[in-house]
Amino acid sequence: MAFWRRLARRASGEWGLVLLSLLAAVAVVLSAGHVALVALLWLVFIAALLRRPKEVKDETHVIADSPEEALDLDALGAGFDALDMPILVVGADEAVLFQNQAAEKAFGVIPPLTDLSARVRSPGILDMVRETIATGRVNQIEHSERLPSELVYVVRVARTVIDAAGRTTVYVISYRDISQARRIDRMRSDFVANASHELRTPLASLRGFIETLQGPARNDPKAQERFLGIMLEQATRMSRLVDDLLSLSRLELKAHIAPADEIDLVPLISHVCDALGPLARDLDVAITVSPPPGPVIVQGDRDELIEVFENLVENACKYGQEGKRVEITLSGGGSDPAEVSVRDHGPGIPAEHVPRITERFYRVNVEASRSKKGTGLGLAIVKHILTRHRARLIVRSTLGEGTVFTVRF
């Protein structure tokens, strides 16, 4: 039945034409004297008329005129409002009949019956909607917007019949936001490219030295000793990088589990200073600690917190070496939020780099970092650990005066 109803509806706009053709056919047949055939044609015509919908209207206007059909659109709208993706419903004449709340938020209010092309500027989307209106086929395209921020949508259009009588055909345009997935994809591929690049450099150097040892330096014990020393350095660099990568992936696995142990930061910081004592002495940097009188207790994971402060104090010694002093201040505890600041008196970090220094493999100066045995992952690890600890990293730097990294729990 539904099929016949749809057929009758589709044909309804063309009945004028059919009637004229039939009359012409009758005139021709009559003149030829085929009475039986005339009677049959009339029967077919009358049967078709009986099947014809009572009101013949433009499909898009049926919605506004009949209360039951308006109800259908309301029901459809209530359903679409529950979705968090923008949805536009248009008629066969490309007039916007409905927009859900998410579409209102994304594109602003579109007055009913506005022509789609007045609000949707993308020729790709308009062509796609027109094709679906013409053919009834579901279509989708990817559409990106640059302003106010970069957004990528999969825009899909599908035809649907919304009233019980099967008379109202509308076209539903949905916008699926895939920006976040795209960003993650890009980050992942950047990360793999960076990690491979970082590993490729020491690997190439190891290969080069192995070939030299097998060839020209085969009988040169002095060169062999020197090359083996460099090879050990490169292999150590690779294992540092792999350790940092593993550390990051372990942290990612438990990112949502908050640590529960009670840790006093005062002895923990003094442990970090002891561990970094030899490095500070080599670099000729003096580390001083100013603890409060009592303990500074936080909820945390001891090993991870040691990793955070080792990274910050090591960076302060390495990159702030020329300031010759690194000062660690602890405060808070009890009801006040705990805070640890690591201050160096080095060259500082130019303001444009500060927001990015916690990104993986981001370095202000790649050569300086490599020469100081950096992997470019230290602050990314710090940021991950602090996120898990519900703590923040605040960076303040003044060129020529130094940098303060503050951890606020």
Residue pair 142/181 in contact (Cβ under 8 Å)? The answer is no
Residues 372-391 that bind ligand ADP (CB under 6 A): 374-380
Q: Compute how many residues bind ligand ADP; rule: CB under 6 A.
A: 21
Q: C-beta of 268: minimal distance to ligand ADP in Å?
A: 19
Q: Does 309 bind ligand ADP (CB under 6 A)?
A: no
Near ligand ADP by CB under 6 A, which window of 125-133, 151-159, 192-200, 358-366? 358-366
Tokens of 166: 């099967």
Tokens of 157: 């259009």
Helices 265-283 and 302-319 pack at an angle, to 10 degrees, of: 30
Q: C-beta of 381: minimal distance to ligand ADP in Å?
A: 8
Q: Does 316 bind ligand ADP (CB under 6 A)?
A: yes
CA distance 288 to 344: 11
Q: C-beta of 185: minimal distance to ligand ADP in Å?
A: 23
Q: C-beta of 401: minimal distance to ligand ADP in Å?
A: 11
Nearer to ligand ADP among residue 170 and residue 380 (C-beta): 380
Nearer to ligand ADP among residue 264 and residue 359 (C-beta): 359
From the CB of residue 58, how many other CB atoms can be counted at a distance below 10 Å? 11
Q: Does 315 bind ligand ADP (CB under 6 A)?
A: yes
Among residues 369, 384, 389, 407, the one that binds ligand ADP under rule CB under 6 A: 369
Please name the amino acid found at residue 281.
Answer: R
Q: Does 259 bind ligand ADP (CB under 6 A)?
A: no
Among residues 153, 209, 319, 409, the one that binds ligand ADP under rule CB under 6 A: 319
CA 251 to chain centre: 20
CA distance 80 to 88: 9
Nearer to ligand ADP among residue 251 and residue 357 (C-beta): 357
Instruction: State how beta strands 139-145 and 261-264 pair.
Output: unpaired
Closest CA to 340 of 375, 300, 283: 300
Near ligand ADP by CB under 6 A, which window of 67-75, 197-205, 269-277, 342-350? 342-350
Q: C-beta of 203: minimal distance to ligand ADP in Å?
A: 19
Q: Does 349 bind ligand ADP (CB under 6 A)?
A: yes
Q: Does 100 bind ligand ADP (CB under 6 A)?
A: no
Nearer to ligand ADP among residue 163 and residue 327 (C-beta): 327
Nearer to ligand ADP among residue 291 and residue 376 (C-beta): 376
Distances (CA, A) of 210 to 39, 216, 366, 393: 100, 11, 26, 43
Among residues 365, 390, 394, 399, the one that binds ligand ADP under rule CB under 6 A: 365
Nearer to ligand ADP among residue 162 and residue 305 (C-beta): 305
Near ligand ADP by CB under 6 A, which window of 13-21, 22-30, 188-196, 364-372? 364-372
Rg over alpha carbons for the chain, rounded to the nearest Å, is 37
Task: Collect contacts of 350-359 with beta carbons under 8 A, ≥24 apart.
Answer: 350/399, 351/397, 354/395, 354/397, 357/395, 358/382, 358/383, 358/393
Tokens of 186: 């890009």
CA 92 to chain centre: 34
Near ligand ADP by CB under 6 A, which window of 43-51, 60-68, 293-301, 309-317? 309-317
Residue pair 304/273 in contact (Cβ under 8 Å)? The answer is no
Among residues 60, 99, 174, 403, the one that binds ligand ADP under rule CB under 6 A: 403
Task: Kindly tell me the number of DSSP H helices and DSSP E strands found in the chain.
Answer: 14, 12
CA distance 180 to 335: 38
Tokens of 88: 């536009």
Nearer to ligand ADP among residue 89 and residue 407 (C-beta): 407
Q: Does 404 bind ligand ADP (CB under 6 A)?
A: no
Q: C-beta of 308: minimal distance to ligand ADP in Å?
A: 11
CA distance 150 to 182: 11
Residue pair 348/322 in contact (Cβ under 8 Å)? The answer is no
Among residues 320, 339, 341, 386, the one that binds ligand ADP under rule CB under 6 A: 320
Residues found near ligand ADP in the complex (CB under 6 A): 311, 315-316, 319-320, 344, 346, 349, 357, 363-365, 369, 374-380, 403
